[in-house]
Amino acid sequence: MVFTNLRRSLMAFVAGGAYRYTRLPGNAAHHHAQKRTAGWIDRHIAAFRLALCALLCITIISFSTSLMYVMDSISTQPCSGFTRDRHCRKEIARSWGQYSSTYSVPSEISPSIPKECKVTFAQVLQRHGARDPTAHKSLAYGDLVDRIHDSVTDYGRRFKFIKSYKYTLGADQLTLFGEQQMVDSGIKFYERYKDLARTDSPFIRASGQERVVESAQNWTQGFHQARLADEHSHTPDTYPYHVLVLPEEDGFNNTLSPNLCPAFEDSKHESDDEQDAWIEKVVPPLTERVNQNLPGANLSDEETIYMMDLCPFNTVANGKGKLSEFCYLFTVEEWLDYDYYQSLGKWYGYGNGSPLGPTQGVGFVNELLARLTGRPVIDHTTTNSTLDGSESTFPLNRVLYADFSHDNDMMDIYAALGLYNLTDPLPGDRRVSPDQAKGFSASWAVPFAARLYVEKMTCGGSEEEFVRILVNDRVIPLQNCGADALGRCTLSRFVESQSFARNGGHWDQCFV
């Protein structure tokens, strides 16, 4: 404010807007001296004003430059490691594994569509938006909070908020924050592929759980809004768009959430070794500290993890995604350990580290190959031959497709596609960063509203179309098909590279 007032005063003076005043009576000599002084000022005032104007400009430019430098320094300042540091909030929110909310993951290859190329086909596979805890977890969290209230009278300094905290989270449903994520995602898809979306509507499927169906519907709202806002789109809009729902029922072939491999279901309970080892390494000190601050609660290591879970779930229960107080109970390093704990669970439970996880994703990959090539589906695993054999329920002539599923099922599909084949097995005795894991972590791969884009494009100078895949805006260089510097393969080479899916994975081992 002081600087602004000074600037205005100086600018007024430079412009000749000096204050008016009434001369007091005086003797003639004094009056004559004043006239001589005024004459000198009149002769030199133009030069004086010009010099002062230059000085003022230099001052403003210098101040503005300094302010920009300071603001830039603030925005790029690294996280100090303390959770209360505002520079750490983003890092914390991106360290919750599958409970993180989707964001544009760092990519060594530009995710932009190459200038010399035109996208001719786009498929999105998307996880539902942010939700409340699952039913059994929500009950466990509520019971834990009740027990703390019943047993603790002396709360530690940072834990005092728990005394008045009321557990009000629901179960399994999308939060308002999650609904908006999906609307935003529909807008994003339209904007990215608007050359196709202006004239073509996507064919949409959703796995049958309520939050997945609602996510698909919210996504269509965003797509529809973007089309209405596009002044270059003149195609009659058929909103609301039809969503084909695939039931999540025993015995129903559903490639978006398969449940037809008994051996896989059994093996999920035998894949926790590395995750258990990590818990033993990092969680006991946290449990000890939490119990010191909640005397009488006697939390177990599992319940300490529940306390950490309450951070992301209370955050996404806030319509604006404001960080919950639970998030400040742990350090940034501890959140990175938590993120790795979740990554181990996804890797060995459903991804490359699972003996039959990749086989679960084979059916969807074979459907994708059919869409990319315009040829009928060839598969004997989880596909539904009745649906996939009908033009109305599995068209092959569309250019835009949108499917909606769950994080675990997307992990299976990533593994079937071989997206993380360069990632070494994750160790349970030390933390491996996403960069060290060649782009894999649960928060990078399957956060709330995670999205996989599969693009087919024609490019100048090439006779064959290219295929490219992005996970949360990170280009995943394709494997075993001669990928170029942009991570792409020709369509024919990509189809050849998917021999694992085309041969049915290890489906024969599902019933051993």
User: Each residue of 174-226: pLDDT tens digit?
Assistant: 999 999 999 999 999 999 999 999 999 999 999 999 999 999 999 999 999 99
Q: Which are the contacts of 389, defined by CB distance < 8 A and separation ≥ 6?
A: 376, 377
Helix ranges (H only) for 300-437 are 301-316, 332-349, 357-360, 362-373, 385-388, 407-417
What average pLDDT does this structure show over 230-242?
A: 93
Q: Which of 221, 272, 268 is nearest to 243 (CA)?
A: 221
Q: What are the tokens at 338?
A: 């938590």
Asked which of 92-96, 263-267, 269-273, 276-280 is least confident by mean pLDDT, the reply is 269-273
For residue range 6-56, list pLDDT tens digits in order: 444 434 443 444 333 333 344 444 444 445 445 544 555 655 566 565 566
For residue range 287-302, list pLDDT tens digits in order: 999 999 999 999 999 9
Residue 5 pLDDT greater than 60, yes or no: no
pLDDT at residue number 39: 54
Asked which of 24-28, 190-194, 449-453, 473-477 is least confident by mean pLDDT, the reply is 24-28
What average pLDDT does this structure show over 442-451?
A: 98
Confidence of residue 269 (pLDDT cuts 50, 70, 90): low
pLDDT at residue number 268: 73
pLDDT at residue number 117: 97
Q: Which of 346, 503, 368 is nearest to 412 (CA)?
A: 346
Cite the beta strand spans of 35-168 per DSSP E.
117-127
Q: How far apart are CA 430 and CA 421, in angstroms?
A: 20
Residue with tokens 């973007």: 226
Residue 483 pLDDT greater than 90, yes or no: yes
Verify whether residue 128 is a known catalytic residue. yes
Residue 187: C-alpha distances to residues 193, 218, 406 (Å): 10, 10, 21
Residue 227 pLDDT greater than 80, yes or no: yes
pLDDT at residue number 256: 98
Residue 103 pLDDT greater than 50, yes or no: yes
Q: How far apart are CA 449 and CA 99, in angstroms?
A: 10
Catalytic residue selected from 31, 32, 128, 149: 128
Give kind and range of the element (H or E) at residue 293. helix 273-293
Asked which of 11-15, 28-32, 368-372, 407-411 is least confident by mean pLDDT, the reply is 11-15
Residue 70 pLDDT greater than 60, yes or no: no
pLDDT at residue number 16: 43
pLDDT at residue number 272: 84
pLDDT at residue number 86: 73
pLDDT at residue number 265: 86
pLDDT at residue number 267: 80
pLDDT at residue number 84: 67
pLDDT at residue number 81: 65
Chain-centroid distance, C-alpha 120: 25
pLDDT at residue number 235: 87
Contact 457, 486 (CB under 8 A): no
What average pLDDT does this structure show over 363-385?
A: 98
pLDDT at residue number 205: 98
Residue 407 pLDDT greater than 60, yes or no: yes
What average pLDDT does this structure show over 231-258?
A: 95
Residue 67 pLDDT greater than 70, yes or no: no
For residue range 106-152, list pLDDT tens digits in order: 999 999 999 999 999 999 999 999 999 999 999 999 999 999 999 99
pLDDT at residue number 18: 38
- Crossing angle between the packed helical segments 135-151 and 301-316, to the nearest 10 degrees: 110
φ and ψ at residue 92, rounded to 5 degrees: -65, -50
Confidence of residue 461 (pLDDT cuts 50, 70, 90): confident
